[in-house]
Each structure stands twice: as C-alpha cells, then as structure tokens.
Chain A
Amino acid sequence: MTAQDSIRSTPVTRMVSLAGTGAQVGLNYLKHYGRRALGNATDTLDEENAGAIFKTFSELKGGPLKLAQMLSIDQNLLPAAYARTFAQAQHSAPPLSYPLVARTFRREFGRDPHELFDAFTREAVHGASIGQVHRARKGGRELAVKVQYPGVAESLQSDLRIVKPFALQILGLRESDIADYFREVESKLLEETDYVRERRNAEEISAACRHIPGVRFAAYLPELCTAKILTMDWVDGETLDRFADGPAGQDERDRVGQALWDFYHHQVHEMRVFHADPHPGNFVIRDGEVWVLDFGCTKEIDAAFYERQFRFVDPGLLHDDAALMAALEDMDVVLEGDSAADRARVVASCRRWLGLLARPFHAGRFDFGDESFLREIYELGEESRKDNVLRTLRGRRGSPDTIYVNRAFFGLYSLLSRLRARVNVRMPDFVAGRLAA
C-alpha cells in the first residue's frame, strides 16, 4: 500500500505539520465560529474586562479558505507561527441575535432566559468556539452562559468537505494518505458540538486534577446545562496571554507555568485523557491561580499508544540506532518498503526532532524563557520542510492519535514560552523506571 501513493512531506514533518493541522483546524474553527462581542458598550468595567478577557476569541473569524490556509504547512507549522496568524484581526460575522438565543432557550428549557435568570445580558459578552457567551446572574451567583450556534455541527461538516480538496492541494497530499487524519480531526470537531460531553469531560478532568496546586475549575449548574447550553460560574481574571505580557514577576510566572505543566503531566501520564486545546484564551489567571476553561476538545489515548509515543522522550533511545529504528518502525514512521538510504535519512531527521522536542524532559528543570528553544524548533521545521528527499517519501506514516498529543505539547510549550516560566519537568514514570533500572 506504500508504493503508489506519492506524498510530499516527511514522516516527521508530517507528524508535526498534522499536529499543527490539528491545532490550526481547531483554531480556525474558533475563527470561523467565534463571534465578535457586539456593541461598543463599555459602560462598565465589567464589560470592558469581559471584552478584554476574550478578545482573542472574539476577533477570530474566517471562512473555509482561511481554514485551508491554516492547513498549509508553509506558514503554520509551529505555535510561534500560528500565534501570529491567530492574532491577526479577521473579518467578522454578526453574533446571534437575542431572539434566537431566547428561541434556543425555549427549545432547551421551554422558558425564556429572563424567566430562568435574575439577569441575563442580551448581547453576547464574547464568542466561544462554536457558540457565544452571555453573562447572567441567579441567586447572587455570577454566571457565564454559553449558547451554541444552531446548526453548527452541520455547517462544520460542510465546511470540512469544502476545505478538504484545498487542503490536499496545498499540502500536496493524497487523500488516501491523509484520510485517517481528517477523520480524526473531523470527529474531534464534531465532539465539540456536544455540550453534554463537554461538561462530562470537564467534570471528569477537574475531579481528577483538583489536587494539583494552582489549578482551578469553574463549577457548572447542571440544571441549566443541555446539549446546546452550558451554564457555569463566571471567572474574573486575566487570560493567560495578557498575564504573560503583563508585569508579573518571575516567581509568579514560574508558579503559573508549573501549575500548567503539572496539570498536563497528570492528564497525559496518569489519566491519559487531556484538554487538547491549550490556547491562551482557555486559561484565566486569578490571584496567581490558573482557571481552566472550555473542555470542548479533549483527547483520550490508549495505554499501548501512550507507551509507544512517550518512550521517545527516553534519552537512551537517541543514542541507540537499533532501538530508535525499531521504535520508529513500530510507529509506522519508517515503513518496510523504505530503501536503506531513506531509512537513514528518516532516522537522522527523527533523532534531531526528538532531541529537540524532548529537551525539557531531559533537562529536569527547563527554562522556557530561553527563546532559542522555540526558534530552534521553528528552524528545524523549516529545514525539514525544504528537504526534498524527505518530502518525496511515500506512504501513510505515523498515527492519527499523534495529532492531538502534539497539539497539546506544542500548545503547552508555546504557552510556557510566552510565560517565560521555569518549570520542573518529570519523566513519565514508565520511562523513569526504565532509566533507573
């Protein structure tokens, strides 16, 4: 099955670019459905604050073409690059009108918002990935109410259908090579349209991570949650990007960074279910603690895949040609039909990638404030992308599960770099055990 399908990217750049793709599709999806917080009403500080908190979300828009653009490996391989794109102002579509919000409430609860809450903003305070957020109050409790755009699942599917041929064209890929990845991305995006699932994910992960110092979760009001509407506590504070760009001291940055790292470490290595959308807008900092918002996109990996993926952080592997080759074959990154020269090239490329991406794990304590780290990743990405031998390798390589694992780690690295945090990094237990032996 490897022979006739020509593909133009390396196994590793493709793993990476598709990780980027995962991220980009997700981000773009935000862009497509995120809605500009309407109105120039900045009468009160609250509204101004709310507007600021979700500014990133709310400026994001874009159509299928933008999505295709995002899928391109040319620009958007890496977090640094996607952050730039992400920050660009996009053209805007109008937010949902209040009557349509009210209609959604009547459909879900049989009652209007003003009957369910003591106060409910008619205008959305900001857009969410596939809906918009209104601020409300009930019994003295400040609430955020997320209302899903009607028909969003359907339009999402049609958008992806429109985008797919563009994406294949731009990436220079064959549909058969990439089908698994597309299916993975599509199913994840569709999952995000199910708010019942989102709440279940959020409650599961927050219950399991409650013990981690410095990480907090907003509580839901189950009686006001359905598949289309989510009601939770309103969290005041600064989004992670604003916090990072603000005047916070090094100690505080390290604490926030460590909380984030521990949060992901626990999810990935203990739970094997993780928040797969580490976008700065999804984290709010209040009193030095990280509040995690939006569990729309979570990824579960099985034990077998987990070990196959994370044994690559073992530094011993980098110096053991036979073991590295075996591990890459096992991940279908190196295929049986590859020539010896191709194999050598792939292994050399992978070794450089792994050495770089696993560097925080090898260091034990890592300073993400070191700008050279992300720059090196970016430069290696560029170099691999331009390597014609790697580009012309054939076949379907790697596992679609890597998309969201990579998305989470690239996202996390990017957040930590932005924070300029110094973080204690632990090896996964099974690798640490092997190293000790």
Chain B
Amino acid sequence: METRERLLSAYRDHLLEHGGPPASVFKFTRDLGLEERAFFAEFPNFDALESEMWRGLVARVAGAVVAGPEWAGFTSRQRLLTFLFAFCEESLAWRSLLLQRVERCGPIPRPARLRGLELGFKEFIGPVIEHGHATGEIAERGMLREASPEAFFLHFRAVVDFHLKDASSGYERTDAFIEKSVALAFDLLRTQAFDSALDFAKFVFARPA
C-alpha cells in the first residue's frame, strides 16, 4: 500500500477506535513505523488528511453512480437523487465516523477537516448543473450562476445532517427528505423564482442614493 493510502486508512481507524485524532503526527507515524517526514510529504497536517479522506468518500460514490448503466439517460434531477441515495447507502459503512466528525458542526461554520466533503461534492455537482442547463431543468441564472454549486452543497450538508439525526427504521425518513427537498429545489430552479426574489429584495432594501 502506498504511504498516502496507509496514512488515510490508519487515520480512519484511529478516529474510530480512539474517538478522536492522534495526539501528534510524531506519535501517529511512529505507530505506523514511518518517519514523521513521510507524513508531511503527503499532508501538511491532520486536517488536510481528514479532508482528503472525506473527498475520497464523496468521489468514490460519485464515480460509482456516474458509471451506472442508466446514468446517461437520467435527467439532472435523477442524477442528483441517485447520488444522494447512493451516498446515504454508502455512508452506513461510515456512520460512526460521520457521527463523530460531522454531526456536531452544522453546515456553517466549515472546519478545514471537512473541506473535502465540499470539494468532492462540487466536483460532482458541476457537470450535473451543466446537464440541467442543457436540458432546461435549471434556468440560466445569470448572476446567481456561480452560487448554484454552493446552494446544492448546502442542501447536501442538510441531507447528511438529516440522515445522521434520523431514527426512523431503515432511515426511510431520510429518503423522503431527499425526495421532497430535491423536488422542491428543482421546481424552484426551473423557474426564475430565486432570481425574482433576489431582485425584489434588492428593490425593497436598496436605499436610493
């Protein structure tokens, strides 16, 4: 196994077994039989390593759904739904870790160690949004165009939070949450509703010079 993979895997085990990060990079690498410098060749600190761990999780799920046989025929809404359901499914193998590392911090603020979730998700959602523009599912938003990935990411975090707090059998309420929230989001995105709201807000709150 490459050093990078070993570090990621050992860090994950450590979090799960000890309920938190190792005391120091020195201790962590010595337990692995590595030199401390081997760690820094890969990551500047634990937060960066952890961030990479989360990015990898999101990227693996995204890679699997994009490779599915039905992907090409899906609308962007179906693509997003497929990803979110697959993520929830996969995250069952990560639930303890997610509960430990994610639940306590809401969508904002975003600690550096979780940045990978955002990076991984935005890599995935970019092409999905493009597809939505192409199919007309998502209105061309002009000034809000750059904000779309951010809005989808906040939604993704809301889904993850909901999933972690969900106590229904088989996490069926999460399924309903995903289904309904994505339906609502795409209903809003298909029109200029957001833009109109923003335009109106600007009109109401802007003071003439």
The chain A residues found within 8 Å of chain B, CB to CB, are 94, 96-100, 102-103, 106-107, 112, 114, 150-151, 154
- Distance to closest chain B CB from A61 (angstroms): 15
- Enumerate 26 A-B pairs (CB-CB under 8 Å) in ascending A order: A94-B183, A97-B77, A97-B78, A97-B179, A97-B182, A98-B74, A98-B81, A99-B74, A99-B78, A99-B81, A99-B82, A100-B85, A100-B178, A102-B85, A103-B85, A103-B89, A103-B175, A112-B70, A150-B170, A150-B172, A150-B175, A151-B168, A151-B172, A154-B168, A154-B172, A154-B173
Chain B contacts of A99 at CB under 8 A? 74, 78, 81-82, 85
Q: How far is the CA of A112 from the CA of B71 in the complex (A)?
A: 13
Q: Which residue of A lies closest to B178 (CB)?
A: A100
- Take A94-B183, A114-B69 as given contacts and tell me if A102 and B172 are in contact as well, using a CB distance cutoff of 8 Å: no
Please tell me if the beta carbons of A97 and B81 are within 8 angstroms of each other in the complex: yes
Given A97-B81, A99-B82, A103-B85: A151 and B183 within 8 A (CB)?
A: no
The docked-state distance in angstroms from the alpha carbon of A151 to that of B173 is 6
* Inter-chain contact A100/B175, CB cutoff 8 Å: yes
Given the complex of chains A and B, what is the CA–CA distance between A106 and B170 in angstroms?
Answer: 13
Q: Would you call A151 and B69 a contact (CB within 8 A)?
A: no
- Ordered nearest first, which 4 A-B pairs have the shortest CB separation? A99-B81, A151-B172, A99-B82, A150-B172
B176: interface (CB < 8 Å) = yes
Residues of B close to A96: CB separation below 8 A = 179
A94 neighbours in B (Cβ, 8 Å): 183
Which B residues are in CB contact (< 8 Å) with A114? Answer: 69-70
Which residue in chain A gives the minimum CB-CB distance to B184? A94
Inter-chain contact A106/B89, CB cutoff 8 Å: yes
Chain A residues, Cβ within 8 Å of B176: 150-151
Residues of B within 8 A of A103 (CB): 85, 89, 175
Residues on A with beta carbons closer than 8 Å to the beta carbon of B74: 98-99
CB within 8 Å of A: which B158-209 residues: 168, 170, 172-173, 175-176, 178-179, 182-183
Give A112 to B73 CA distance when docked, in angstroms.
15
Contact residues in B for A106 (Cβ distance below 8 Å): 89
A100 to B182, CA, bound (A): 11
Contact, CB under 8 Å: A107 / B78: no
Contacts of B168 in A (CB 8 A): 151, 154
Closest to B179 in A: A100
Beyond A112-B70, A150-B176, A151-B172, 15 additional contacts (C-beta under 8 Å) are A94-B183, A96-B179, A97-B182, A98-B81, A100-B81, A100-B175, A103-B85, A106-B89, A107-B170, A114-B69, A114-B70, A151-B175, A151-B176, A154-B168, A154-B172
Interface residues of B in 89-118 (CB under 8 A from A): 89
